[in-house]
Amino acid sequence: MEFKQKDEKAILSKLGIDALNPMQLKAREVISHHNEIVLLSDTGTGKT
């Protein structure tokens, strides 16, 4: 299933998020190319 940018914007808006942080942007890039990932990042960096 193709994930469209407009869908992402709608989801983020519903969650009250204006923009993804650098860690989230990198994670999104990796997730788009792999089915399974492990994301390691400090507490409070936006993993959820």
Per-domain residue ranges of the chain: 1-48
Mean pLDDT of 28-38: 90
> Where residue 12 falls among pLDDT bands split at 50, 70, 90?
very high
DSSP string, the chain: -PPPHHHHHHHHHHTT--S--HHHHHHHHHHTT-S-------TTS---
Two tokens, residue 5 = 């940018």
Q: For 26-47, what is the mean pLDDT? A: 88
Mean pLDDT, residues 30-36:
90
> Where does the pLDDT of residue 3 fall: very low under 50, low under 70, confident under 90, or very high at 90 and above?
low
**Residue bearing the bigger pLDDT, 1 or 45:** 45
